[in-house]
């Protein structure tokens, strides 16, 4: 045999081995052990014991001082605008002809004091955990229900708890005797939660703080739902605290690039029928690969900035409400419908009202928290490719896949990380801000999932009883 042939043969054997090895041997990933970490203003000295904190839960009301509103008015009035290139829509970013209209509405029509009463329709609280004040909404069922299920909802970037104001009334309404007690915290560094003062506030720390929050509210076990960062935080909670999380429901499920998933993706790209549940539909979720890749490249510039030097852009956005609105609202355009890149108004008011959109901006503005919200990317950048992702989620899981979501994970590729996937829904319409855009679809899906899990829990209990007898 010639040298070339031998090398080729070795190459083929190594190649096949590389694909088969991870299929046969699934590496065991150990859960990291999390110690309480301090994020308060004054750093702990080395060796200093973790401070004993008050566990008080204080009522919180959104009530911004008149000074903040006067200052905002002045800034909006003195804004400067770029001249858009003739004939372009949102292709160069937020079109400033339309931006002027948004800002005119903000100045002349938008009513913050009225918004405050809307925001305050749900009870809100703050409590101190690991040195920072954590803000959360806490709403009990609208009427007595046979079964009350605690549900923790986590938002993402550039969103806020505001995204769930349409969903909360649907969730607290009993369906077949089941209603939710809903807890919606602001991630520390977002909205009305205090920004962490020390380095390292990532998804794992968020998970730890949120479990403590739920325990403080006397919920040892609960369900979790999330989108964007919230879906990753929910998954992290399910991985790290399987004894606390009864079930996980997320939109935007992440693909984990472990051996079996990569092997299935490669095989599925040529032979969809061998891999996918619905070959035609699921193949389109990932391929043509280059189309997906260019879309992600176009939409993810912000990610690179925020994962490396968030405070630089942060400085500009903290100083300019117009810049803040452009930077954030641009995401509500293409992340809701990628084609709206070609609309002069970014399609922004097709699914949302300007009032709804500006309230989310106001939450970033009045809390002065946009830079800290962007730091979350830097704190988490290293973790997204970490082995941590490969730890399977053992609790019952559900994924709602929206057609205009930024990325898709077909069901067949989720089985290694979500071995207990009991529900996967291909949604008829909707994009990234699912609960904000399609609250009914999201809430119905959560309710169906939780009903299934309650049934599973019940039959497991019955089985246990029968074996004892």
Ligand X SMILES: *[C@@H]1O[C@H](CO)[C@@H](O)[C@H](O)[C@H]1NC(C)=O
Q: Which of 61, 85, 86, 464 binds ligand X (CB under 6 A)?
A: 61
Binder of ligand X out of 28, 46, 54, 63 (CB under 6 A): 63
| Nearest approach, Cβ of residue 126 and ligand X (Å) | 15
Number of residues in contact with ligand X under rule CB under 6 A: 2
Tokens 């690969």 appear where?
Answer: 289
Q: Which of these, 255, 240, 298, 293, lies nearest to 408 by C-alpha position?
A: 255
Distance CA 422, CA 444 (A): 15
What's the min distance (Å) between Cβ of 136 and ligand X?
A: 18
Q: For ligand X, which is the closer residue by CB, 33 or 67? A: 67
Distance between CA 317 and CA 300 in Å, rounded?
Answer: 18
Task: Find, among 231, 89, 213, 217, the residue nearest to 155 by Cα.
Answer: 231
Is 377 annotated in the active site?
yes
Please state the closest distance from residue 433 (CB atom) to ligand X, in A: 28
Choose, from 130, 364, 432, 445, the residue flagged as catalytic.
432
For ligand X, the closer CB: 28 or 65:
65
Q: Does 67 bind ligand X (CB under 6 A)?
A: no
Give the position of tokens 């605290």. 241
Nearer to ligand X, 61 or 86 (CB): 61
Residue 418: CB atoms within 10 A of its CB come to 26
Please identify, using beta-carbon distances, which residue of 67 and 83 lies nearer to ligand X: 67
Task: Find the catalytic residue in 377, 401, 408, 445.
Answer: 377
C-beta of 120: minimal distance to ligand X in Å? 6
CB 247 within 8 A of CB 450: yes
The residue nearest ligand X at its CB is 63
Annotated catalytic residue, options 164, 228, 241, 408? 228
Handedness of CA 335, 337, 340, 345 (dihedral sign): negative
Q: Parallel, antiparallel, or unpaired for β 124-129 and 222-226?
A: unpaired
CA distance 316 to 75: 13
Contact between 399 and 418 under an 8 Å Cβ cutoff? The reply is: yes
Q: Is the dihedral of CA 91, 96, 102, 106 positive or negative?
A: positive
State the Cα–Cα distance between residues 254 and 231, nearest whole angstrom: 9
Nearer CB in complex with ligand X: 63/78: 63
Closest distance between ligand X and the C-beta of residue 321, in Å? 21
Residues that bind ligand X (CB under 6 A): 61, 63
Q: List the catalytic residues.
A: 228, 377, 432
């Amino acid at each position: 045999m010639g040298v070339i042939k031998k090398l080729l043969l070795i190459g083929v054997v190594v190649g096949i081995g590389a694909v088969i090895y991870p299929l046969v041997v699934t590496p065991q990933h150990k859960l990291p052990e999390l110690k309480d970490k301090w994020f308060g203003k004054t750093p702990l000295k080395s060796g200093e014991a973790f401070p004993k904190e008050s566990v008080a839960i204080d009522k919180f009301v959104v009530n911004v001082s008149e000074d903040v509103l006067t200052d905002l008015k002045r800034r909006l009035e003195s804004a400067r605008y770029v001249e858009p290139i003739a004939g372009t829509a949102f292709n160069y970013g937020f079109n400033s002809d339309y931006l002027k209209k948004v800002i005119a509405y903000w100045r002349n029509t938008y009513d913050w004091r009225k918004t405050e009463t809307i925001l305050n329709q749900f009870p809100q609280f703050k409590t101190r955990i690991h040195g920072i004040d954590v803000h959360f909404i806490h709403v009990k069922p609208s009427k007595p229900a046979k079964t009350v299920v605690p549900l923790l909802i986590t938002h993402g970037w550039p969103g806020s708890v505001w995204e769930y104001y349409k969903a909360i009334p649907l969730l607290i309404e009993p369906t077949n005797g089941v209603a939710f007690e809903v807890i919606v915290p602001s991630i520390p560094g977002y909205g009305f939660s205090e920004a962490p003062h020390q380095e390292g506030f990532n998804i794992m720390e968020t998970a730890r703080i949120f479990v403590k929050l739920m325990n403080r509210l006397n919920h040892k076990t609960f369900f979790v739902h999330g989108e964007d960062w919230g879906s990753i935080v929910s998954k992290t909670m399910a991985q790290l605290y399987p004894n606390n999380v009864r079930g996980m429901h997320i939109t935007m499920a992440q693909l984990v690039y472990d051996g079996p998933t990569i092997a299935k993706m490669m095989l599925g790209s040529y032979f969809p029928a061998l891999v996918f549940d619905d070959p035609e539909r699921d193949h389109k979720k990932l391929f043509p690969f280059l189309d997906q890749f260019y879309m992600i490249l176009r939409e993810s510039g912000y990610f690179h900035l925020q994962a490396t030097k968030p405070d630089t852009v942060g400085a500009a956005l903290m100083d300019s409400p117009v810049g803040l609105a452009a930077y954030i609202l641009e995401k509500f355009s293409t992340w809701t419908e990628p084609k709206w890149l070609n609309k002069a108004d970014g399609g922004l008011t097709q699914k949302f009202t300007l009032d709804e959109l500006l309230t989310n901006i106001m939450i970033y503005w009045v809390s002065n928290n946009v830079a800290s919200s962007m730091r979350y990317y830097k704190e988490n950048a290293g973790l997204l490719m970490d082995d941590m992702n490969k730890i399977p989620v053992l609790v019952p899981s559900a994924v709602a896949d929206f057609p205009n979501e930024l990325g898709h994970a077909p069901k067949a590729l989720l089985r290694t990380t979500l071995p207990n996937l009991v529900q996967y829904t291909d949604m008829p319409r909707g994009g990234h801000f699912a609960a904000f855009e399609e609250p009914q679809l999201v809430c119905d899906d959560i309710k169906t999932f939780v009903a299934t899990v309650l049934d599973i829990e019940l039959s497991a209990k019955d089985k246990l009883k029968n074996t004892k007898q």
